[in-house]
Structure 1
Amino acid sequence: MTSQYPKWANSAVMRDYYDHHWGIPVHDERELFKMLTLETFQAGLSWTTIWQRRAAFSAAFAEFDVDKIARFDRHQVEQLMANSQIIRNRRKIMATINNAQRLQQIHQDGKTLDHFLWSFVNGQPLRMHADGDQLLPSATSLSTEISRQLKHAGFQFVGPTTVFSLMCAVGIVNARL
C-alpha cells in the first residue's frame, strides 16, 4: 500500500500490520479491548511475536468477549498457562481477566472503553510527525495521564508505555508516514 515504512515495519508481517491496522482509528469496543490485551502481553516482548499469535490469543480469550473473560476462573487460568500458542505469563493473564472485569464496571456505568480513550483527544486523532528513521517516544504526557486514569479505574498492566503503544495502534495517535 505505502512505499514508506518506519524502521520497525521491516518484515512482510509488520508491513501488512502497518498498511492495514496500525494508526487507523478504531472505535469498536471488542477490538479496543483486544488491542489493550495484546498490548498488555507485548510488554517486554516484540510486537511481531504478539501480532503473529493474535489468532491464538483470540481463541484462548473467548474472541475477546469481555463478559466471558471476566468470568474466567482458576481452571481457565490453568488452561491458559498450559497453552503454548500464547504467551504464558500468569500476571498478564490475571491482568486481562481483571481488565475485563473493570471494563464491565465501565459498561455498567453506561460508558465504553471507546468513549474513555477517545475522550482524551476529543474524538480526533493526534498527529505525530516522524520520519522513517526516527523512533517515536516510548510514552508521552498524554499516555501517562490515560495510564493514571486507567489505573485509577482498576486496570492493570497499563503503564504509560503500554498505553502509548495502544494509542498508536488504534489510531488515537496518528504517526503514519
Structure 2
Amino acid sequence: MGMNLSPDETLACRWAPADDVLYRAYHDEEWGVPEYDPRALWEKLQLDGMQAGLSWITILRKRDTIREEFDLFEPESIARWDATRIEKALQNPGIIRSPKKIQATIGNAQVYLDMMDAGENFSDWLWAFTGGKPIVNQLTDISQVQARTPLSEDMSKALKKKGFKFCGPVIVYAFMQAVGMVNDHETRCPRHREIQELYS
C-alpha cells in the first residue's frame, strides 16, 4: 500500500459499520459536518426529536418518507397542520406514527416562525452556544462519547424556554454532534481531520 498507517488509523468510527451502506454513508457524508442553514438545522432537530426512544438507524431508514410526509420540513407549511392533516400523517406506515411527536413538530414549526418574525435567526441563535464554531473533541474510542454535556443541558433549557418540545439534553447533544457543533468523530477516523480542515 505504500503507507505506514496502522489499520486503526484508517478506520471510520466504530458506530458506523462498513456492512451497513446507509449508516456508513451518513457517517461519511453528513454526520459532524457543520450545518449553518436555519431551516436545515430545524429539520434535523425535529428528526432527532422523533428518534426519542428509538435508534437513529430507524429514523435514517424512514427519513425520505418522513420528509415527504412532513412537507419537506418547511415550517411555514407544518405550522398550519390541522386535525385532518395530522390524521393523514398517522395513516402513513413509513413515518414515526406518534401523535405527541407530530404535535410537537407542529408546535416547533410555530416557535421557529415566531423567532424569525422577531428577527431571531435560528442558526445564529444555536451556534452562539459554541461561539459560532465547532467544538473539536479528541475521542479515541466511541465509549468516551457522552450522552449529554453541560452545554447540551443549557441549549435544551433555552430551547424549552422558547417553547420547543422533544429537545431534552440527550436529544440536543445528538443533534449537536450531527450538525457539527461538536466534532465527535474518533481521532482515528479520517472524517475527524477532514471536517476540521474544511471548517477550521
Fold shared, TM-score > 0.5 on shorter chain: yes
The corresponding residue for 1:92 is 101
The equivalent position to 1:118 in structure 2, one of 113, 121, 127, is 127
Shift of 1:7: 2.3
Shift of 1:129: 1.9
How many corresponding residue pairs?
176
The equivalent position to 1:64 in structure 2, one of 65, 73, 88, is 73
| Rounded Cα–Cα distance in structure 2 between residues aligned with 1:132 and 1:54 | 28
Structure 1: 5+ residue stretches without partners: none
The corresponding residue for 1:9 is 16
Segment of structure 1 superposing worse, 85-94 or 8-17: 8-17
- CA contact 1:4–1:132 (8 Å) conserved in 2: no
TM-score between both structures, scaled by the size of structure 2: 0.85
Shift of 1:169: 0.4
Structure 2: 5+ residue stretches without partners: 1-8, 187-200
1:93-145 deviation per Cα after TM superposition (whole angstroms, max 9, x unaligned): 11000000000110011112111110111111001221244241110000000
- CA contact 2:31–2:179 (8 Å) conserved in 1: yes
The equivalent position to 2:33 in structure 1, one of 7, 24, 38, is 24
| Rounded Cα–Cα distance in structure 1 between residues aligned with 2:26 and 2:174 | 14
Q: Say yes or no: does 1:34 pair with 2:64.
A: no
Q: Say yes or no: does 1:101 pair with 2:110.
A: yes
Structure 1 outlier segments of 4+, above 3 Å: none
1:43-85 deviation per Cα after TM superposition (whole angstroms, max 9, x unaligned): 1101011011111111111111011011111111111111101
Aligned-pair identity in percent equals 37
Question: RMSD in angstroms over aligned alpha carbons?
Answer: 1.3
TM-score between both structures, scaled by the size of structure 1: 0.95
The equivalent position to 1:144 in structure 2, one of 141, 148, 153, is 153
- CA contact 2:15–2:142 (8 Å) conserved in 1: no
The equivalent position to 2:89 in structure 1, one of 80, 95, 101, is 80
Q: Which amino acid aligns with 1:30?
A: R
